[in-house]
């Protein structure tokens, strides 16, 4: 069956019916394709949220693999419902951050409330556009807590990809309904039939439930709106109790910091109502040993996608509240807001994320430390999956040891610090959290456990204390065209992966699962995979606990003296290569002195790499002005002795940029 053809016909019908029924403005897609969609601009000033009881509300997320078209679909939904004017310049309007616009990816889930008429009734729809990249999956899981359903979008030319699957599993965990959508049917390479088959196979859904659309051109997008209302449950059906006359209970599923207004908390109200002037508190605040645990609601409203004050939010609705909170300690994601004096049972909260990648950030100049601290505080409020600890390095000063969910996450965080807070930082080479199992009773007593985490070389224990080292592992899923199977296997095996399973999705595509050490994939695995599969491979991974390994602490000696800041911990399979790299980098960056500088990388007492910086040349015969060979040789001997003496007593000054170069790359 040629589904895309039949859907084109269906689209025309849906739109004509919609136009006649609603009698609203004719919407012409910006690409000038013959599809009619409808607009009904309604500003929040006109919105009376009391007109939307739970059965007139649908809260849904849009999830997909990277670039399958979530944000573009959100653009069309906002245009059709009149939340934004239809315009050719509407490209991923919910991607508001500069980093999102520059990289063309969503990194922050974004909420927008829209209204839509269906069968003569007006509905309040709350959509959450989520990121697709695995490093931001925490955004997806949190957003799903505020939804009763999702649009699962799959690219018609790419099919189901690794992160489509992991996002789908998140919806299963959240126990919410799915509307399967095939997007980009306008592409010449679209293969709707094959993608339908894949979706049937992976998601156990019926082909007739799949909606094929083009988010870019607008084809069939209005039928997505119809399906949202017809097929997704209202908060009342999903939450069972969802009553505006009950006590206030609201889940904080996101928050961010705004200059002047302070913290803005995104909430999903599951019972009661919250209005300006209310005195609220939360389960977490009540548990704190501090005086300020209650707050007055300064403003409350919905996101359209910008904040619009409505003065009140009722049960089943999703919106945003300002109550003068200033720090992360006050607005905790996963917390339960309730009225002062009316306690309610708390939500379970969100599972805290385990950092996968560790990086240390130092201010460019120590005078900027306080500002950097404030900036990191505000940014972590916006991204609670980042963990922060203070640290200090004699060469680079005071800084922060941060934990991220992946390398892209780290990169984006750094870029946001620079762009949104004007804070430039020195960021050290990312590493992963290793562990040591201790055998020494004295050390076990000291650490309060037989397990210690090794985040930096400074944490590396004496070998006599330990039983074994552990490294974090992941289960990596690769989906790729079958013709690249050999290259994928080769790549995984070179990265010390162990095959778990291999299966064919159809004749042309395979899915391969490997168990891999995390430190083998954090840096460039994804880029390599893209390169060996000509861009068609997709990758997703999840935490797979720890596994025994051998670690080595590589120390750097300059003329026999250890430089502690340059020590690092590496996996056995890497330390030789990394040690050579460090020696070479130091050779390039330390300026020559009057004496030679021996650079040695050692593990214990064994030298595993070395290089030499020759002294800069002086014309020792300059003052001689002539003379015979014996005098010259005497001078050469004297110079050599002097070099030797200097090498013994001379202090090698390692410039800051040498530290930065070694620690950063």
69 is an interface residue for ligand GTP by CB under 6 A: yes
Q: Reduced to 3 states, what is the DSSP secondary structure of residue 81?
A: coil
Q: Applying CB under 6 A, which of residues 54, 132, 272, 476 lies at the interface with ligand GTP?
A: 132
Cβ proximity of 218 and 31 under 8 Å:
yes
- CB of 63 closer than 8 Å to CB of 47: no
Q: Does 186 bind ligand GTP (CB under 6 A)?
A: yes
Half-sphere exposure of 585 (CA within 13 A, CB side): 19
Which residue minimizes CB distance to ligand GTP? 132
Smallest distance from the beta carbon of 68 to ligand GTP, in angstroms? Answer: 5
Instruction: Tell me how far, at minimum, the Cβ of 65 lies from ligand GTP, in Å.
Output: 7
Q: With contact defined as beta carbons under 8 Å apart, do 480 and 537 qualify?
A: yes
Question: Three-state SS across 485-550?
Answer: HHHHHHHHHHCCCEEEEEEECCCCEEEEEEEEEHHHHCCCHHHHHHHHCCCCCEEEEEEEEEEEEC
Contacting ligand GTP (CB under 6 A), which of 4, 29, 59, 71? 71
- Is residue 36 within the footprint of ligand GTP (CB under 6 A)? no
Tokens of 480: 């790729």
Smallest gap from Cβ 183 to ligand GTP, in A, equals 5
Site string for ligand GTP, 583-622 (x = CB under 6 A): ----------------------------------------
Please tell me whether residue 266 binds ligand GTP under the rule CB under 6 A. no
Query: Minimum distance between the CB of residue 132 and ligand GTP, rounded to whole angstroms?
Result: 3
**Token pair recorded at residue 98:** 């500069």
Among 11, 38, 66, 613, binds ligand GTP (CB under 6 A): 66
Q: Which stretch binds ligand GTP (CB under 6 A): 16-24, 66-74, 113-121, 583-591?
A: 66-74
| Nearer to ligand GTP (CB atom), residue 188 or residue 606 | 188
Minimum CB–partner distance for residue 119 and ligand GTP (Å)? 27
> In the bound complex, what is the minimum distance in angstroms from residue 100's beta carbon to ligand GTP?
8
Cis status, amide bond into 305, omega within 30 of 0: yes
Task: For residue 76, state whether it binds ligand GTP (rule: CB under 6 A).
Answer: no
Facing residues of 436 across strands? 452, 469
Choose between 105 and 376: whose C-beta lies nearer to ligand GTP.
105
Spatial neighbors of 418 by CB under 8 A, at least 6 apart, are 424, 425
Per CB under 6 A, which region of 143-151, 183-191, 246-254, 272-280 contacts ligand GTP?
183-191
* Helical packing angle, 656-664 and 575-589, nearest 10°: 150
Q: Which residues of 178-200 are buried (b: 16+ CB within 10 A; e: fewer)?
A: bbbbbbbbbeeebbbebbbbbbe
33 binds ligand GTP (CB under 6 A): no
Contact between 64 and ligand GTP per CB under 6 A: yes
> Between helices 485-494 and 525-532, what is the axis angle to 10°?
160
User: Both tokens of residue 496?
Assistant: 């010390």
Minimum distance from CB of 556 to ligand GTP (Å)?
Answer: 40
Q: Which two tokens stand for residue 224?
A: 């997505």
With helix as H, strand as E and coil as C, how does 145-201 read?
CCCCEEEEEEECCCCCCHHHHHHHHHHHHHCCEEEEEEECCCCCCCCHHHHHHHHHH
Rounded least distance, CB 227 to ligand GTP, Å = 17
Which CB sits closer to ligand GTP, 131 or 355? Answer: 131
Binding status of residue 401 toward ligand GTP by CB under 6 A: no
Q: How far is the CB of 72 from ligand GTP (least distance, A)?
A: 3
Between residues 42 and 103, which has the closer beta carbon with respect to ligand GTP? Answer: 103
Interatomic CA distance for residues 108 and 93, integer angstroms = 13
Binding of residue 131 to ligand GTP (CB under 6 A): yes
Report the nearest approach of ligand GTP to the CB of residue 5 (Å). Answer: 17
Looking at the Cβ atoms of 132 and 517, the one nearer to ligand GTP is 132
For position 385 contacting ligand GTP by CB under 6 A, the verdict is: no
Binding mask 80-119 for ligand GTP (x = CB under 6 A): ------------x------------xx-------------
Rounded CA gap, 447 and 537, in Å? Answer: 44
Which C-beta is closer to ligand GTP: that of 66 or that of 662? 66
CB under 6 A: which stretch of 68-76, 456-464, 591-599, 655-663 binds ligand GTP?
A: 68-76
CB of residue 415 vs ligand GTP: minimum separation in angstroms? Answer: 15
Select 88 or 629, whichever has its Cβ closest to ligand GTP. Answer: 88
Q: Which of 183, 281, 428, 443 binds ligand GTP (CB under 6 A)?
A: 183
> Which among 257, 378, 254 is positioned nearest to 319, based on CA atoms?
254
| Interacting span for ligand GTP (CB under 6 A) from 65-73, 222-230, 476-484, 610-618 | 65-73
- The footprint of ligand GTP on this chain (CB under 6 A) covers a number of residues equal to 20
Using CB under 6 A as the binding rule, the residues of this chain from 444 to 473 that contact ligand GTP are none
Separation CA 172–CA 205 (nearest Å): 13
510 in contact with ligand GTP (CB under 6 A): no
Stretch 202-241: interaction string toward ligand GTP, x if CB under 6 A: ------------xxx-------------------------
Pick 106 or 244: Cβ nearer ligand GTP? 106
CB 535 within 8 A of CB 155: no
Which residues partner with 603 through β-bridges?
606
Cβ atoms of 70 and 129 within 8 Å: the answer is yes
Instruction: Please check whether residue 242 is in contact with residue 235, taking contact to mean a CB–CB distance below 8 angstroms.
Output: yes
> In the window 315-344, what residues touch ligand GTP (CB under 6 A)?
none
**CB under 6 A: which stretch of 182-190, 287-295, 445-453, 501-509 binds ligand GTP?**
182-190
Residue positions counted in the chain: 665
Q: Which is nearer to ligand GTP, 268 or 412 (CB)?
A: 412
Check binding of 167 to ligand GTP (CB under 6 A). Answer: no
Place of tokens 């704190």: 288
Nearest in space to 231 (alpha carbons), one of 154, 118, 145, 141: 118
Tell me if 72 contacts ligand GTP by CB under 6 A: yes
DSSP 336-398: EEEETT---PPP--PPPPPP-EEEEEEESSGGGHHHHHHHHHHHHHH-TT-EEEEEEETTTEE
Q: Write out the H or E segment, with its range, that includes residue 587.
A: helix 575-589
Q: Judged by CB under 6 A, does residue 67 bind ligand GTP? A: yes
187 forms part of the interface with ligand GTP (CB under 6 A) = yes
Q: Footprint of ligand GTP on this chain (CB under 6 A)?
A: 64, 66-72, 92, 105-106, 131-132, 183-184, 186-187, 214-216
């Amino acid at each position: 069956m040629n589904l895309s053809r039949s859907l084109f016909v269906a689209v025309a019908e849906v739109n004509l019916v919609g136009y006649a029924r609603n009698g609203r403005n004719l919407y012409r897609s910006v690409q000038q394709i013959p599809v009619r969609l409808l607009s009904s601009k309604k500003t929040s000033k006109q919105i009376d949220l009391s007109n939307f009881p739970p059965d007139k509300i649908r809260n849904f997320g849009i999830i997909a693999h990277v670039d399958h078209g979530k944000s573009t679909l959100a653009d069309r939904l906002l245009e059709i419902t009149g939340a934004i004017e239809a315009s050719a310049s509407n490209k991923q309007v919910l991607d508001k951050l500069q980093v999102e616009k520059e990289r063309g990816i969503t990194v922050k889930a974004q909420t927008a409330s829209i209204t839509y008429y269906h069968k003569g009734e007006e509905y309040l729809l709350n959509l959450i556009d989520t990121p697709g990249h695995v490093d931001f999956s925490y955004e997806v899981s949190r957003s799903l807590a505020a939804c009763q359903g999702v649009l699962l979008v799959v690219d018609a030319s790419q099919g189901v990809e690794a992160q489509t699957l992991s996002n789908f599993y998140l919806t299963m965990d959240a126990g919410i309904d799915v509307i399967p959508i095939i997007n980009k049917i306008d592409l010449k390479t679209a293969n709707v039939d094959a993608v339908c088959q894949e979706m049937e196979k992976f998601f156990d859904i019926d082909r007739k439930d799949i909606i094929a659309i083009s988010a870019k051109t607008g084809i069939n997008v209005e039928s997505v709106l119809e399906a949202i209302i017809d097929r997704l449950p209202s908060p009342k059906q999903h939450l069972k109790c969802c009553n505006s006359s009950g006590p206030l209970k609201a889940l904080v599923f996101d928050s961010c910091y705004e200059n002047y207004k302070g913290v803005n908390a995104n909430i999903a109200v599951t019972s009661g109502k919250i209005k300006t002037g209310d005195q609220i508190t939360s389960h977490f605040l009540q548990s704190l040993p501090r005086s300020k645990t209650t707050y007055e609601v300064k403003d409350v409203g919905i996101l359209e996608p910008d904040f619009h004050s409505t003065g009140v939010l009722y049960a089943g609705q999703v919106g945003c509240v300002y109550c003068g909170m200033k720090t992360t300690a006050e607005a905790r994601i996963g917390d339960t807001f309730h009225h002062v004096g009316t306690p309610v049972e708390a939500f379970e909260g969100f599972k805290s994320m385990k950092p996968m990648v560790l990086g240390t950030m130092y201010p460019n100049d120590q005078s900027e430390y306080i500002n950097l601290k404030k900036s990191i505080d505000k940014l972590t409020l916006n991204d609670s999956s980042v963990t922060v600890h203070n640290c200090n390095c004699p060469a680079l000063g005071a800084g922060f040891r941060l934990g991220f969910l992946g390398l892209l996450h780290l990169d984006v965080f750094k870029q946001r610090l620079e762009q949104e807070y004007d804070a430039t930082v020195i960021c050290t080479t990312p590493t992963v959290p290793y562990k040591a199992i201790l055998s020494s009773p004295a050390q076990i007593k000291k650490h309060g456990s037989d397990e210690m985490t090794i985040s930096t070389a400074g944490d590396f224990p004496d070998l006599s204390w330990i039983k074994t080292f552990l490294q974090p592992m992941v289960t990596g899923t690769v989906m790729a065209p079958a013709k690249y199977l050999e290259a994928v296997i080769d790549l995984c095996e070179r990265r010390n992966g162990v095959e778990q399973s291999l299966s064919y999705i159809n004749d042309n595509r395979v899915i391969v699962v490997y168990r891999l050490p995390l430190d083998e994939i954090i840096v460039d695995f994804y880029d390599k995979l893209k390169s060996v599969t000509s861009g068609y491979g997709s990758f997703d991974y999840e935490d797979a606990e720890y596994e025994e390994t051998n670690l080595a602490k590589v120390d750097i000696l300059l003329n026999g003296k250890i430089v502690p800041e340059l020590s690092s911990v590496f996996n056995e399979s890497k330390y030789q290569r990394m040690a050579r790299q460090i020696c070479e980098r130091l050779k390039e960056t330390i300026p020559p002195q009057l004496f030679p500088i021996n650079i040695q990388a050692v593990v214990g007492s064994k030298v595993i790499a070395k290089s030499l910086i020759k002294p800069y040349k002086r014309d020792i015969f300059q003052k001689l002005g002539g003379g015979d060979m014996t005098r010259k040789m005497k001078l050469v001997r004297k110079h050599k002795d002097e070099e030797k003496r200097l090498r013994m007593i001379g202090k090698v000054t390692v410039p800051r940029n040498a530290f930065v170069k070694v620690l950063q790359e």
